[in-house]
Structure 1
Amino acid sequence: MSSEISVAKNLDEVEKSSQLETYDNKLGLESLDTSDGDAALQLVGAQATMHFSEEYNRKLRRKLDLVIPTISAAVYFSQYLDKTSLNYARRVLFRSDVGIMGLPINYNLVSMAFYLGYLFWEFPTVYISQKLRLAKYLGGNIVVWGIILMLHASTSNFGAFFALRFLLGMCESCVTPCLILIISMFYKKDEQAQRISWFYIMNGLTQVFGGFIAYGISFYNGNALPPYKIIYILLGALAIIVGIVVLIWLPDSPVNASMLTKEERIAALERVRDDQGGTENKKFKKDQVIEALTDPRTWLVVLSTILTSIPNGALSNFSNIIVKSFGYTSKQTLILSTPGGVVGSAMVIFCGWYSDKKNERMIPIVFALVPTIVGAAILIGMNGSSNKGVLLFAVYIIGTFGSALSTIYAYNASNTSGHTKKVTINAMTMATFSIGNIIGTEIFQPKDAPAYIPGKTAIMVLLIVQLFISYLLRWINIRLNRKRKAQLTELKERQGWTDEDVQHERERHAFADLTDRQNIFFVYTC
C-alpha cells in the first residue's frame, strides 16, 4: 500500500461494523437504504475509508487523461467524419451517372436519413447500454457502423443509400450518451467540461481533416473506383480500427477499469464522492424516469438542444454549399471551408476551460452563440456582396455555436444524479439533437439557393432565443442551490450536527443512486 495513503480501516471490517449504525442513531437519522445503490459500493462502501494525497490524485488524473479523453476524441473524430462524409462525397455522389437521379432534394433526404435512424434508436440504445458494459457496447457499435459505412460504396441505388444512412444513425446514437456517462464517472464536476471539450473539439478538426482528404481525392482520375467510394471505404476502415481500440482499452467505469490497480480504482471513486453524482447502476428505476420528465430543467435543456441542433443540422451538411455560393469552384470550396473548423475548435477549448475554471455552464454558451449570431447577420446583410473576405470571415465565425452543444452535455453531466435519470436525460437530449438536425436539413431549401436567406435568418433567430433560455437555466440553478443551502443549514441545526457529521452524511449519500432532487447534499453547477 502506498505511503501516501492512510487507511482508516479495512473495507470489509467497515461494512460489518456496527459503528455506522451507532453513528446514525446518534444523529437521530433513519438508516439510508443502499441496497439499490451504485456498483461503487461494492468496492468502497458507503463511507470513505481510504484517503489519498493531492499528489496521488493528480498522478491518477494524468493517467486517466492519457486514456479516456484520448480514446473519446478518436471516437468523436471518426463519428463526425462518418456523419458528415455525405458533405464531402456530395460533389460526385449526386451526378446522374451514379444512379441517384441527380435531383437536389435527394441530398436533403439522405441527410435526414441519418438523423431519423439516430432518433429511432436513441432511447433503446441508452437503456441497452445501462444493462451492458458501457465501453464494450460502444466499441461494438463503432465496429458495426464502420462496416455499414464501407457498404455505402457498394450501392448507387437511392433506396439502399437511404437505408444505410438510417442504420448509420442508429449505430452512432449511443456515442455521446456513453461518453458523457464515462466522463461523469471518472472526473469531478470542475473537470468534466474540459474533458468533454477535449473530445468535442474533433467536430471542428474533422472539418479541417475531411476537407483536405476530400480535396486530395478530388484529383483522383482513376477508373477503378469513383472518388466518393474511396471516401467511404477509408472512413469505414478507420471506424473499425477505432472500435477495436475502444473494445480493448476504454474503461467502462472506475469499478472495473482494467487500466487501474485496485488501489487506483478506489482512489478514482473517492475523487468523485463529494460531487454526489454517483457512478453506474444496472437497475432501471421508473421513479427516476418520472422525475426526469417532471423536472422543468429537463425541458429547458431539451429546448436548448433543439435550438442549437437546428443550425447544426443545416451547417454540417450545407456549409460547403454556402462557401461555394460565393463564386468558388468545388475544389476551392473544400479548402476554404477548413478554417471554420479551426475557429470552432478554438471556441470549444475556450468554453470548456472557462466552464470548469469559473464553475459555470450557461455563460460559456453565451460566448459561443454571439459570434454565430453576428456571422449570420453579416451573411444576410451582405448578401450579394463581392467582398469575399468578409463573407468568408462570417462563415468562419458562424461555426462557434457548436461549443454550446458540448457545454450542454457538460451541464447534464454536472447537474444530474441517479443513473436512470442520467440516461433518461441524456437520451432526451440526444433525441432532441436528432430532431433538431432533421429540421436543420430542411431549412436550406433548393428554391432559396444560392443565398439561402430564410435559412440564415432562422439560425440567427433561434440562437437569440437560446441566449434567453441559457440565462433562465442559470437563474433556476442558482435559486435551487440557495434553497438547498437553507434546507441543509436548518437540518444541521435541528439535528445538532457538527461539520464532521455533515461530511459523514455527505459521504454516505454519494453512491446511494439518489437523484439530484432526492439528495440534499447535491450542488448544482450554474
Structure 2
Amino acid sequence: MAIDAEVTLRRKSSHSLDDPEKVQEKIDVESVDVSFADEALRLVGTERTQRFSDEYNRKLRRKLDLCIPPLCAAVYFTQFLDKTSLNYASIMGLPITGQNYNLVSMAFYLGFLFFEFPTVYISQKLRVAKYLGANIIIWGAVLMLHAVGTSFGAFFALRFLLGMCESCVAPILILIISMFYKKNEQGTRIAWFYIMNGLTQIFGGFVAYGISFYDGHLLAPYKIIYILLGGLAIIVGICVLIWLPDSPVHAKMLTPEEKIAALERVRDDQGGTENKKLKRDQVFEALLDVRTWLVILTTLLTSIPNGGISNFSNLIIKSFGYTSKQALILSTPGGAVHTMMTLFCGYYSDRKNERMIPIVFAVVPTILGLLIGFNGTGQKGVLLFGIYLCSSFGSALSTVYAYNASNTSGHTKKSTINALTLTAFSLGNIIGTEIFQPKDAPDYIPGKIAIMTLLGAQLVISFLLRWINLRLNKRKQARIAELKARNGWSDADVQRERERHAFLDMTDRQNPYFVYTA
C-alpha cells in the first residue's frame, strides 16, 4: 500500500514558476519522494489499490459528519460570539464610548491582521487541530480578562490579543473540511459551521437581554457577559483538543481501513490533504495568480460592511426609538436571516457546483435592506425589516471559504491564499469599524451609501471570478484531450494518471487534472 520513501522526485518542472502548467503529465511511481509530497501518500500511495462501496463511503461520511462539522460549528459559534461581545457590551454599561469605542472595535482586527500570516504558517508545521484548541483556550482566558479592564488602553490591548488568537480559526477549519470532504460536499459543511454567525446573534441577543435585567450591584452586566463567554470558549477549546482530528492520516476516530477510505474518497478532487514543508514556489504561485487577488478583493468588499454592521447593528436599532433592552431582543431575527441564507447558499453551492452565484444571492437582499434604511423617518417595523435583510450578506464569506477549499491545491498555496483571504477580512473589518461615524447618527446615510457601493462592486467581481474558472477548465480539458491523442490513452489511462497526481502536493496550476469549481 505504501511506497518507498527513499526515492527522489525527479520532476523539476513541476516546481518551476516559469510555466507552472508545463509539467510532466505522466507520473513515474518509482520517482516520488514521499517526504516532499502529501502525507497521505505514505498511507495510500500513488495507485488506488482499494475500492470501497458507495454504502461504505456513506457510512464513513456519516461518521465524519457526527464529529467534524459539530466541533467546527462549536468553534465558530464561540469565535463569533466572543468577537461580537463588544456589540452587546456597548449597550450594557461598557465604559468605552464614542471614538474610543470605534478604536477598541478596530483593535480586534488589528491583532487579527498582525498575526494572520504567522499563525497560518505555524499551524502548517504543527498538528492543526491541536494548535487550534490551544488558541481557543488562550482567547477564552483573554476574554474573561475583559471583565477586569476599565480603561481604554486595557480594552484595546485585550481586543488586540483576542484578534491574534482568533486569526487561526477560519484557515484551519477550511483546511480540515477540505481534507475530509469532496468538493461537492464542502460548501454545505462550511455552511454548517458558518451558520453559527447567525445563531450566535440569536443566542447572544437573548443572553444579553436576560443579563440586562440584573441591577449590577455585584458585577456590571457587561462583565458577566465576558466571564460567561470566556468560560464557554475554554470548554470548547478542551473539546477540540480531545476530539477534532488533524487530518485523515492522524484521525484517531478512524480505523486504519477507514483512514484509507477517507483518503480515497477525496483522491479524484486532486486537492490533497497535508504537507509540513513550506514551499516557496507555491507561495509565489499564489501571489502571481490573478484569482488570488480577486478573492482578496471580494473578501474586502464583503468585510467592510461586516465590520460596520456587526459592531453597530444594536446601536442602529436603538436609534429607531427602542430602549437598550428592546434593541438586544430585536436584533435576534437578523441572526435567523443570516442562518437561513447561509444554509441555502451552502446547499445551492454544492448541488449546482457553483461558488459565485450564491454570493449574488447573499448580497442582493442587503442592498435592498439598505435602500429601505434610507427612509430614516419611516415606520419602525419597516426599518427593522431593512436591518434584518442586511444580515443576508454575511453568508457571502462562507461561500468564499468554500471557493478557496474547492479551487486551490498544494498545501502551502492553500495556506497562503487562506491567510491572504483572512488578511483582507481583517483589513475590511478595520475599515468597517469607521464606516458608521457618531456624527452621522442616527441615520448613518454616508455609511449606508458606502456599503451599497461596495456590494455592487462585489457582484461584478463574483461574475468575473466565475468566468475565469470556467475558462481555465476549458483549457484543462483541451490539454487532457491533447495528452490522450498524443499518447494514445484511453479514458481509463487518464483516470489512472489523475489518481497518481492526487497526493503529490501539486498546485492547481501544476496539476493538469485539477478541475476548478465555478
Into which bin does the TM-score normalised by the smaller protein fall? over 0.9
SS in 1 for 2:273: coil
Amino acid at match of 1:85: S
1:303 partnered with 2:301 = no
- Contact 1:343–1:399 at 8 Å: present in 2 too? yes
In the TM superposition, 1:61-80 aligns within 5 A as 61-80=61-80
Match of 2:18 in 1: none
Tell me the CA shift for residue 253 of structure 1. Answer: 0.2
1:321 partnered with 2:320 = no
1:179 partnered with 2:173 = yes
Return the alpha-carbon distance in structure 2 between the equivalents of residues 110 and 68 of structure 1: 33
Amino acid at match of 1:31: D
> TM-score w.r.t. structure 2 length?
0.95
Q: Residues 335-376 of structure 1: CA distance to partner in whole angstroms, max 9, x if unpaired?
A: 111001001100000000000000000000000000001111
- Contact 1:15–1:45 at 8 Å: present in 2 too? no
SS in 1 for 2:320: coil
Return the alpha-carbon distance in structure 1 between the equivalents of residues 499 and 512 of structure 2: 12
Return the alpha-carbon distance in structure 2 between the equivalents of residues 30 and 47 of structure 1: 11
1:479 partnered with 2:479 = no
SS in 2 for 1:39: coil
Return the alpha-carbon distance in structure 1 between the equivalents of residues 322 and 328 of structure 2: 10
Return the alpha-carbon distance in structure 2 between the equivalents of residues 432 and 263 of structure 1: 40
Return the alpha-carbon distance in structure 2 between the equivalents of residues 523 and 34 of structure 1: 23
Q: Which runs of 4+ in 1 moved over 4 A?
A: 27-30
Amino acid at match of 1:455: G
Inter-CA distance 92–39: structure 2 relative to 1 (3 Å threshold): same
The partner residue of 1:109 within 87, 103, 110 is 103
Return the alpha-carbon distance in structure 1 between the equivalents of residues 198 and 65 of structure 2: 21
Return the alpha-carbon distance in structure 2 between the equivalents of residues 120 and 139 of structure 1: 20
Tell me the CA shift for residue 431 of structure 1. Answer: 0.4
Return the alpha-carbon distance in structure 2 between the equivalents of residues 476 and 29 of structure 1: 26
Tell me the CA shift for residue 29 of structure 1. Answer: 4.4
SS in 2 for 1:52: coil
Match of 2:182 in 1: 188
Return the alpha-carbon distance in structure 1 between the equivalents of residues 71 and 269 of structure 2: 24
Match of 2:414 in 1: 422
Inter-CA distance 499–199: structure 2 relative to 1 (3 Å threshold): same
1:47 partnered with 2:40 = no
Match of 1:31 in 2: 28
Match of 2:429 in 1: 437
1:213 partnered with 2:207 = yes
SS in 1 for 2:51: strand
Match of 2:439 in 1: 447
Tell me the CA shift for residue 177 of structure 1. Answer: 0.2
1:288 partnered with 2:286 = no
- Contact 2:140–2:230 at 8 Å: present in 1 too? yes
1:518 partnered with 2:497 = no
Amino acid at match of 1:43: L
Match of 2:377 in 1: 384
SS in 1 for 2:510: coil
Q: Residues 227-255 of structure 1: CA distance to partner in whole angstroms, max 9, x if unpaired?
A: 11110000000000000000000000000
Tell me the CA shift for residue 128 of structure 1. Answer: 0.1
Return the alpha-carbon distance in structure 2 between the equivalents of residues 28 and 41 of structure 1: 18
Tell me the CA shift for residue 31 of structure 1. Answer: 2.6
1:81 partnered with 2:112 = no
- Contact 2:27–2:500 at 8 Å: present in 1 too? no
State the superposition RMSD in angstroms: 1.5
In the TM superposition, 1:96-245 aligns within 5 A as 100=96, 103-245=97-239
- Contact 2:25–2:512 at 8 Å: present in 1 too? no
- Contact 2:27–2:497 at 8 Å: present in 1 too? no
Q: Work out the number of aligned pairs and report it.
A: 499
Q: Residues 30-85 of structure 1: CA distance to partner in whole angstroms, max 9, x if unpaired?
A: 63653211000111111111100000000000000000000000000000010000
- Contact 1:302–1:428 at 8 Å: present in 2 too? yes
In the TM superposition, 1:258-407 aligns within 5 A as 258-380=252-374, 382-385=375-378, 387-407=379-399
- Contact 2:143–2:158 at 8 Å: present in 1 too? yes
The partner residue of 2:494 within 476, 491, 502 is 502
Tell me the CA shift for residue 15 of structure 1. Answer: 5.8
- Contact 2:27–2:501 at 8 Å: present in 1 too? no
Inter-CA distance 30–181: structure 2 relative to 1 (3 Å threshold): closer
Q: Residues 90-149 of structure 1: CA distance to partner in whole angstroms, max 9, x if unpaired?
A: 123444xxxx4xx41111010000000000000000000000000000000000000000
Counting aligned pairs with the same residue, the percent is: 72
